[in-house]
Amino acid sequence: MTFNLKSLCCFCSVMIMLCVAPVSASTQAKAGDPVPLQVEKWEVLDIDLVTQATTKNPFVAQVNAYFTHQATGKKQTVPIVFNGEHHWLLRFSAAQIGDWHYQIEGDVPELNGVKGVVQVVANDDPSNHGAMVLSPDNKQAFAYEDGSEYFLLGYELDWLFALDYSNDKDTPKSEHLLSRIKEHGFNHVVMNVYAHDVSWQKDPKLAAHPEHEFGGRQDIYPFLGSNEHPDFSGLNVAFFQKLDRSIQLLHDKRMVSHLMIYVWNKMVSWPDMNSDADNMYFDYVVKRYQAFPNIVWDISKEALFYGRADEAYIKGRIERLRSMNHFNRLVTVHDFNYCAKYPEQVDFISTQDWGYDIYNRMLNVRKRFADKVIYNIEHGGYESAPYEVFPGDYTDPEVVLRRNWLTIFAGVYSTYYWQANAWNVIIYNPFEQVDPSAHPKFSYFSAMAAFFERFTFSSFTPVPGKNGSGYTMVDEQDTYLIYVSKDNFQMSRGNWYLMPEGKEPNRTMQWFNTLTGEMTEASDIEKGQLFISPWRGSADAILISQVVE
């Protein structure tokens, strides 16, 4: 393997590497006062360490860099992983500025005792808020590490790892697609480390457009060999170097990588559960990617489906992950039954629910787990596309949008699926397709994201007792948000409906169009007011009512 600087990138302050010769372990070990490397807070630093000798079974070598913050004494363990030939990767990030001194210890003699200093400096990028964490102020909400609001708006893109795999130099397709996704408000990409192919029947139209088919490739595989002829004796370093690019690109765009380590129904040749090869793969993924602030761990997509894994295996994987999750990234399992049975094992509940009555179903889950954040990772709404990939139960764009809104109005985060992105089929330039009717309705979610920039989601609580013929949320300032279907003739009569108990404040009302993002001017609520959406019959809307100070 030839060390490729571009494969690990050197984006100014985004990802700083040793841009001169790679650090030689032996040379650095002799340097009594090494020059500090520098990285910005919440950015990622890759340090390339080179040894002379060959290490037996390098993928299972236990090597760590032990960092100490000079001013506070805070400790941080950072795993080091084999990166091909004689190269080892030390990937570091930090939330605390100042000098971090490290020393390496482990199974590789040439690396033992190697010391260095990393200087973490202030980050002047206002878009970088650190990792996705649990809110310290609301047990059922997420936040960013700096305390700012994180309104999770999920996007399924399972095969992202494959999109630019054939391009050794750059990631133009990923760059283009992720830019389109990001500019429409999505900030949380649900993806697989690896998936091979789908088992369901493929749309015949796809055969004429092989550029959109990313499943079934034998040249992409995380182990040695191929999916058809696997060799579990080692890992394919090139695969992970290319996955690095995807995770880094997401980080650069301030998008979370919700990384599903396993998937059982995508025709993957996996090693036996709990085998040496299984542990080698699992440990390597966790060690290699945990320094990225935008990582969220998901043990497996649909973890207990398809008759492969059992509860004991998933429990063991969680425990194994947590034992080496030194950066404390959030952990979940894409399996509601497991999360519901063992909520103490996960940081947030992931649910998959295709039920027609999605609002009440999500409301019940939220009530049942009042001390947990709930994330509906899959609600059965898969927006139609030029190819029929996997239609689920709902394909109409407005219906898919409504299911997301109703999930959110139940106080639960949600995910969007477009059939030409979610799985093996990827139209990576969707708005450059000739037929505009085939373009995805990303704009619907632009409106949603903009709405929750104005109204802080984590400040609102569902109040089903005041739903009437809509769906109601309220915050501590007595601001009401009432979701009203386009099928409603009217929502209610009179300002009594919006009156807090024991008070009669003056209130305003205005309407928000969920399809276009248009918002009416605020007007006073009058006695006997009819609450009729200006888009009745054409678009679902949200009635917004605020107290006049």
Q: Where exactly are the structural domains of the chain?
A: 5-121, 132-459, 461-547
Q: Compute the average pLDDT of residues 24-37.
A: 45
- Tell me the per-residue pLDDT of 431-482, one tens digit each, with 9 for 90 and over: 999 899 889 999 999 999 999 999 999 999 999 998 989 999 999 999 999 9
Q: Compute the average pLDDT of residues 286-309.
A: 97
For the domain with range 461-547, which CATH number is right: 2.60.40, 3.30.160, 1.10.600, 2.60.120? Answer: 2.60.40
Residue 343 main-chain phi, psi, to 5 deg: -65, -25
The pLDDT, as a whole number, for residue 264 is 98
The pLDDT, as a whole number, for residue 548 is 87
Confidence band of 352 (pLDDT split at 50, 70, 90): very high
Which segment of 140-149, 309-318, 483-492 scores lowest on mean pLDDT? 483-492
Q: What is the dihedral of CA 428, 434, 439, 443, to 10 degrees?
A: 100
The pLDDT, as a whole number, for residue 330 is 99
Superfamily (CATH) of domain 5-121:
Immunoglobulins (2.60.40.10)
- Count Cβ atoms below 10 Å from residue 139 Cβ, excluding itself: 12
Identify which has the larger pLDDT, 366 or 500: 366
Q: What is the dihedral of CA 472, 145, 49, 117, to 10 degrees?
A: 170
Superfamily (CATH) of domain 132-459:
Glycosidases (3.20.20.80)
Confidence band of 10 (pLDDT split at 50, 70, 90): very low
The pLDDT, as a whole number, for residue 55 is 92
132-459 matches 5-121 in CATH topology = no
Between CA 189 and CA 418 the distance in angstroms is: 13
Identify which has the larger pLDDT, 200 or 6: 200
Identify which has the larger pLDDT, 132 or 547: 132
First to last CA, the chain: 67
Confidence band of 503 (pLDDT split at 50, 70, 90): low
Identify which has the larger pLDDT, 19 or 56: 56
Q: Is the pLDDT of residue 423 over 90?
A: yes
Helix (H), strand (E) counts: the chain: 10, 28
Q: Is the pLDDT of residue 346 over 70?
A: yes
Confidence band of 525 (pLDDT split at 50, 70, 90): confident
- Max intra-chain CA distance, the chain: 84
The pLDDT, as a whole number, for residue 134 is 99
The pLDDT, as a whole number, for residue 497 is 64
Identify which has the larger pLDDT, 492 or 417: 417
Q: Which two structure tokens, joined as six digits, stand for 431?
A: 């708005």
> Over the chain, what is the mean pLDDT?
92
Confidence band of 500 (pLDDT split at 50, 70, 90): low
SS3 39: strand
Residue pair 64/37 in contact (Cβ under 8 Å)? The answer is no
Confidence band of 34 (pLDDT split at 50, 70, 90): low
